[in-house]
A and B are shown apart, each in its own frame.
Chain A
Amino acid sequence: MKQRARLRLAAIYVAAALVLAGTVGPFLWLVSSSFQYERQLLNRPPQWLPNPIVLDSYREIFEGAVMGEDSGVPYQSRIFLRSFANSFYVAGSVAVIAVMAGAYAAYPLARLRFRGRQVLLFAILASRLIPALSLAIPIVLVAKRIGMSDKIVSLVFINLSFILPYVIWLLQSYFKTIPMELEDAGRIDGCSRLQVVHKIILPLSLPGLTSAAILAFLLTWGEFLFALLLSESPTSYTSTVVVSLFATDVDVSFVSIITAGVLSVIPPICFALIFQRYIISGLLSGSLKG
């Protein structure tokens, strides 16, 4: 029997090693490539680990931000840091606003009885079924007409609408887990509904609010379609747009492209690993990335 248990564990670890290699392998290769000289990247067979560790491509991006056009630094590298800041701005604003507006919208859906509750819940969910591409067409048209194209505020607003249904859904299911008695006790003590939300529901929902905010941040950080269609210049490019400019340009060196890729996933990957508990619980309470 002991033999069997040992065999089972060995089989599990072989499988786990395969999963591990498949999960982080491709990304680690990207990181390893980013620390090499361009000419080392052209080696056959490939050089697995950087030797020496080369930081030139990183320096190029950090210094590029303050370099002029004639510095020889590729255009994409020069605008990358700006786009990075834009991404933080957009994703951060969306996370904060979505959780605030979402919490108020989720409360009645979780706790109040009113006509049309089911309809509202369904409509909010169904809005996610409409392909973003079909909405993008009129949105771009209107944004250009009213002069809201090429502004990051527009990106905040648009992303908000795609994130909100998701946040509302997540929070209303979280609110339902808070015992009704606590709320009733507050009501008996004379709290208004608004006070109940502020003093009882929200403080007790901190884990739920945190996972909603983190998910909102991550989903917005990775958004590409609207970021592409609603931006025309570096003032409003987000990092995903600049990454696409890198990746589709054959004149830029591989190592610059790769480094941009690595840099633009550092925030989401750090977030994901630090807050993994919140993320997993948020993901499992019904919902998806898309």
Chain B
Amino acid sequence: MQSGIATARKEMSQGALALFFSAPAVLIIAATILVPFGMAVFLSLHNWNLKRPGRERFVGLENYSDWLSDSDFWVPLRTTFTFAILAVAVIIIIALLISLLLNERFPGRGVLRALLLVPWAIPSVVNALLWKWLLNPQYGLVNALFFEFGIITEYQNMLGSMPSVMIWLVIAYSWIHIPLATLLLLSGLQTIPGDIYESAIVDGASIWQRFLYITLPLLRPMLSIVVIFEMIFAFKVFDIIFVLTAGGPADATNVLGWQIYTETFRKLDFGAGSSIAMLLGAITLALAILFYVFLDKGVEQ
């Protein structure tokens, strides 16, 4: 009876309660994401250069049309695509190989899995510092190793020219992104029931056939999630560029993230910067949707 009274003394409705509970979090998110997003849209429709105060005016879609007819948008876009595709490919392939290894039972597996968290925990800026040292043209470890093993005959500036700067940028970036992808793929692998493999072995399937016809299709949902997330991250790359290459040499690594940064915070053109940032956001979103639809279809088949 007591409980009957307690419920009769009706508390708030579930909706009101939800509002009450989530209010602090929702307010913080709204204040720092939704409001700035609205303002970014507003800025992108204006001429807004801090170097020319008092001349702010509404220009409609002019900033956007300017970018779309400017090689300063298309060239960084192509660089971003190149970087993202290479980085995602490297991350996925290596993460898949490591996760297959960690899916085997062997003494020391847990230790290896835990140590994967070392690169993961390294902030991207420190990672850039680390690789700047490893790739140092005069004293870097990479030069030393390549030289000792006879791969190169003299020390080189790996970050000084294309294509080597792009390759090393991708390697440095991937190094801290591989662990998480590995852990996610590993969790995907562990959901595949072992008896499927056993019956395949009975049927005489080779290891390669088992990978191709069992592992890969069953891993596909997790694989597609990882590809989408890594793609979104790679498109937003900025930190490592800031420290390692500053967009150079000669714009070779000038990705959209770097272009937005220089446009906005060096040239102080907030209108142009906002509009190109919007374009980057739209492209990222479009890719995410495209991948989702495309990869999801693959799962159904």
Interfacial residues, chain A to chain B (CB-CB below 8 A) = 9, 12-13, 15-16, 19-20, 23-24, 26-27, 29-30, 33, 41-42, 44-46, 101-102, 104-105, 107-109, 112-117, 120, 124, 127, 129-142, 157-158, 160-162, 164-165, 168, 187-190, 192-193, 197, 218, 221-225, 228-229, 240, 243-244, 246-248, 254, 257-258, 260-261, 264-265, 268-269, 271-273, 276, 279-280, 283-284, 288-290
Task: Report whether B26 and A105 are in contact in the complex, using a CB–CB cutoff of 8 Å.
Answer: yes
In the assembly, what is the distance between CA of A54 and CA of B124, in Å?
A: 27
Can you list 19 residue pairs at the A/B interface with Cβ under 8 Å? A23-B115, A24-B115, A24-B118, A46-B139, A107-B21, A112-B18, A114-B14, A115-B15, A131-B281, A135-B32, A136-B264, A160-B28, A189-B3, A190-B2, A224-B125, A224-B242, A243-B243, A284-B187, A290-B229
**Which chain B positions have C-beta within 8 A of A113?**
14
Tell me whether chain B's interface is mostly helix, strand or loop, or mixed.
Answer: helix
Give the distance to chain A from B191, nearest Cβ to Cβ, in Å. 11
Task: Report whether B184 and A283 are in contact in the complex, using a CB–CB cutoff of 8 Å.
Answer: yes
**Which chain A positions have C-beta within 8 A of B261?**
133
Q: Which of B113, B118, B126 interacts with A272 by CB under 8 Å?
A: B118
**Which chain B positions have C-beta within 8 A of A247?**
125, 128-129, 132, 243
Interface 1/0 per residue, B136-154 and A, CB below 8 Å:
1011010010011000000
Interface residue B37 (Cβ < 8 Å from any Cβ of A) = yes
**Which chain A positions have C-beta within 8 A of B124?**
222, 224
Interface residue B214 (Cβ < 8 Å from any Cβ of A) = no
In the assembly, what is the distance between CA of A272 and CA of B139, in Å?
A: 31
Given the known interface contacts A42-B139, A265-B126, A272-B121, the answer about A135 and B33 at a Cβ–Cβ threshold of 8 Å is yes
**Which chain A positions have C-beta within 8 A of B183?**
280, 283-284
Task: Report whether A26 and B120 are in contact in the complex, using a CB–CB cutoff of 8 Å.
Answer: no
Given the known interface contacts A27-B130, A42-B139, A120-B22, the answer about A265 and B121 at a Cβ–Cβ threshold of 8 Å is yes
Task: Report whether A221 and B24 are in contact in the complex, using a CB–CB cutoff of 8 Å.
Answer: no
Chain A residue nearest in CB terms to B240: A224
Q: Which of A16, A124, A139, A168 has the most CB of B within 10 A?
A: A16
Interface residue B247 (Cβ < 8 Å from any Cβ of A) = no
In the assembly, what is the distance between CA of A189 and CA of B5, in Å?
A: 11
Given the known interface contacts A27-B130, A224-B124, the answer about A127 and B260 at a Cβ–Cβ threshold of 8 Å is no
Task: Report whether A23 and B116 are in contact in the complex, using a CB–CB cutoff of 8 Å.
Answer: yes
Task: Report whether A105 and B24 are in contact in the complex, using a CB–CB cutoff of 8 Å.
Answer: yes
**Which chain A positions have C-beta within 8 A of B260?**
133-134
